[in-house]
Amino acid sequence: MMYPIGNKKLQLLLLLRFALMIFERIIRILVPLQTERLLRVFSPDGKTNDSTTLSKFDVGSVMLYVFYNYLQRHSSILSLLHNAAEKPLDSFVRDTLQLRFFEHVHSLSMQFHLNKQPYELLSIMQLGVQSVSQVTSIILFNLLPTVCDVSVTLLYFSIVWGWKYGLLIISNAILVTIASKLHGQMMRKVYRDMIEAGGTRRSHPQETLMNAETVKYFTNEAYEVGRYEEVIEMSRTSSPNLQFKTQALSVIQTLIWTWNLLAGCLLCAHEISSGKRDPASFMTFVLYSQQLEGPIQSLTWVTDHLRNTLASVDEMMAVLNLEPTVNDVPDAPPLVMSGGEIEFENVSFQYSHDKRGLSNVSFKIQKGQTVGIVGPSGGGKSTILRLLVRFWDPSSGRILIDGQDISKVAQLSVRENIGAVPQDPVLFYDTIGYNINYGRTTASKEELEEAAKVAQIHDTIMKFEKGYETTVGYRGAKLSGGERQRISIARTVLKNPPIIVMDEATSALDSMTESDIQQALTKLTENRTTIAVAHRLSTIMHADLILYIKDGEIVERGTHEELIQAAIDNGGQGEYYKMWRIQTGKLYGDSNSTVGDNEMETCAEAEEVMSKEE
């Protein structure tokens, strides 16, 4: 991700940056040397007799000195080249990483997505991506050059000027590093609090804006503004006197620095006065010292900055290192469909050690049949669907589609063959056409319209001014629940899978809309194996098999008639029967009444009532 493999142009730019970096280091050495040289050229050589010898007018040396100085300035052509080479490399790192992160997050299992807030993920991605490119830049083009500068100066002084100067430089570097380390420790907690407070500061407005409708329903606008004010206040107080604390370090560093300069200048002055050096060396020493001040002091900034950016990189790497919880076996073959027969064989599953999902669930659906799943809330109905699409794998037992254990085939191929119609479909913030097309992105316009017709939504769409180009609003909020539902059916029709799962697809709708949608659903499920979770029994009454799930177990199974008959035979005792009675009214009299022809007649009446409702 950091090295542009296969991109010659970017590799050359990287090389250019390195070359520039080395060139800059050389210029840094040359400036003081050239100054010393000039001073020597200008000074009378002391050997003339009449003491009037003038210093040489060496235009070349002056020009060279000015040229070196020019190159050293930040706005010089070198900086321009540096920046020009930096941008494309920086974009490369960011783009590659961003794409990789996006791809990785999408490859993670549902469990991960249920536990993470989307904007938290986005924030991790943004900060992480930005930090990775900064880390590269900091290490390669800040830390490395600084270490180079210090080492070269140290070597130069130690070899050319003697060990005392080397000692001065090294002690300076050590003292500054100790100071910055102590400062870093002190600032760590401040930065941590700041990052935390910054996160809340970002997430709070996002959360409330995403739920603007709820805020308005409860007229909590002022409350939310008040909460945001508190968050802002908290983030402000989490970094009291941050600037003061940060600047305190520069004050200490400058003190160390000045002490060092003083010691060096005294040493140099002493050597000049004792004739060991010429006066020009004093200037060289001062200039070198000044050259070194920037890099040594920037070490603090660099290490501090590196620490912060690494914290963000760490967080991103933690996500990038996550493995999907549902994995395919090596070289898993794709699911081969031959009709869509589904079988659950003693399937048990737990979401976590304290949360039971399903225990010993077994049932079989022949191809093209419909199974209705009913039962009390939290019983495990939706869990059956989630296991079928492999959002989770069972802890024991097997789920077979057309005789193949779905945990042994590629999970994508399982999902490719299953179409889902959820209770409250969420649409993308785009046009109706885009949302339907999502079912099969390669579908033609004609196929798209055909799917919309099957889902009974085409005419409604055509009444909109912009037809299929109408935008649906945030998560489809500009459409009614029934319209959203039919669009979701249309995209499943377009996907054309052999298996359909529906999770209470009509429970949020009124009876009129429900009947429209029911027609669309009937067309959708024609000749397809279907599992439908339902609260309204009218929607699954005619299913080939009905499963009553309670506390993760199938407690009753059979067709509608069988379940009713069994309950009647059992003196009116039966979960499904009770549910049915609650939904249709007391049509059988008391539960302990005896069963006879009359009862079955009443049963037929009830069906009639339900059909009307339908």
Ligand X SMILES: Nc1ncnc2c1ncn2[C@@H]1O[C@H](COP(=O)(O)OP(=O)(O)OP(=O)(O)O)[C@@H](O)[C@H]1O
**Which residues make up the interface to ligand X (CB under 6 A)?**
114, 351-352, 355, 357, 375, 377-383
- Cβ distance 514 to 393 under 8 Å? no
| Other beta carbons within 10 Å of 175 | 18
Q: How far is the CB of 614 from ligand X (least distance, A)?
A: 20
Q: How far is the CB of 180 from ligand X (least distance, A)?
A: 46
Q: Toward ligand X, which CB reaches closer, 373 or 457?
A: 373
Give the list of residues 6+ apart from residue 512 with CB closer than 8 angstroms, or none.
Answer: none
Q: Toward ligand X, which CB reaches closer, 199 or 376?
A: 376
Distance CA 514, CA 525 (A): 16
Indicate the residue type of 354. Answer: D
Q: How far is the CB of 391 from ligand X (least distance, A)?
A: 9
Q: Toward ligand X, which CB reaches closer, 374 or 494?
A: 374
Q: Toward ligand X, which CB reaches closer, 226 or 378?
A: 378
- DSSP label at 573? -
Q: How far is the CB of 393 from ligand X (least distance, A)?
A: 14
- DSSP label at 406? G
Place of tokens 């059988």: 588
Q: How far is the CB of 318 from ligand X (least distance, A)?
A: 21
DSSP annotation string for 354-374:
TEEEEEEEEEEE-TT-EEEEE
Q: Toward ligand X, which CB reaches closer, 64 or 508?
A: 508
Distance CA 14, CA 537 (A): 67
Q: How far is the CB of 196 from ligand X (least distance, A)?
A: 26
Give the list of residues 6+ apart from residue 185 with CB closer than 8 angstroms, or none.
Answer: none
Distance CA 267, CA 271 (A): 6
Q: Which two tokens stand for residue 448?
A: 């798209």
Q: How far is the CB of 344 from ligand X (least distance, A)?
A: 14
Q: Which two tokens stand for residue 344?
A: 């659950």
Q: Toward ligand X, which CB reaches closer, 83 or 325?
A: 325
Alpha-carbon Rg for the chain, nearest whole angstrom, is: 38
Q: Toward ligand X, which CB reaches closer, 373 or 479?
A: 373
Q: Toward ligand X, which CB reaches closer, 52 or 115?
A: 115
Place of tokens 């006066």: 279
Distance CA 535, CA 232 (A): 45
- Enumerate the β-bridge partners of residue 545: 371
Q: Toward ligand X, which CB reaches closer, 297 or 383?
A: 383
Q: How far is the CB of 524 from ligand X (least distance, A)?
A: 21
Q: How far is the CB of 115 from ligand X (least distance, A)?
A: 8
| Other beta carbons within 10 Å of 323 | 10
Q: Could you give phi then psi for residue 352, rounded to 5 degrees?
A: -155, 175
Q: How far is the CB of 508 from ligand X (least distance, A)?
A: 12
For 228, counting Cβ atoms within 10 Å of its Cβ (0-12 exposed, 13-18 middle, 19+ buried), the class is middle
Collapsing DSSP to helix, strand or coil, 313 comes out as: helix
Distance CA 432, CA 479 (A): 10
Distance from chain centroid for Cα 120:
7
Q: Which two tokens stand for residue 331?
A: 């070289």
Q: How far is the CB of 504 from ligand X (least distance, A)?
A: 7
Q: Toward ligand X, which CB reaches closer, 121 or 587?
A: 121
Q: How far is the CB of 501 from ligand X (least distance, A)?
A: 12
Q: Toward ligand X, which CB reaches closer, 128 or 379?
A: 379
- Enumerate the β-bridge partners of residue 500: 419, 530
For 112, counting Cβ atoms within 10 Å of its Cβ (0-12 exposed, 13-18 middle, 19+ buried), the class is middle
Counting Cα atoms < 13 Å in the Cβ hemisphere of 402 gives 16
Distance from chain centroid for Cα 441:
24
- DSSP label at 500? E
Q: How far is the CB of 322 from ligand X (least distance, A)?
A: 16
Collapsing DSSP to helix, strand or coil, 550 comes out as: strand
Distance CA 497, CA 525 (A): 10
Distance CA 283, CA 34 (A): 11
Q: Toward ligand X, which CB reaches closer, 379 or 425?
A: 379
Q: Toward ligand X, which CB reaches closer, 118 or 240?
A: 118
Q: Please name which of 292, 308, 320 lies closest in space to residue 103, comparing C-alpha atoms.
A: 320
Q: Toward ligand X, which CB reaches closer, 127 or 385?
A: 385
Q: How far is the CB of 114 from ligand X (least distance, A)?
A: 5
Q: Toward ligand X, which CB reaches closer, 329 or 426?
A: 426
- Cβ distance 172 to 296 under 8 Å? yes
Q: How far is the CB of 172 from ligand X (least distance, A)?
A: 58
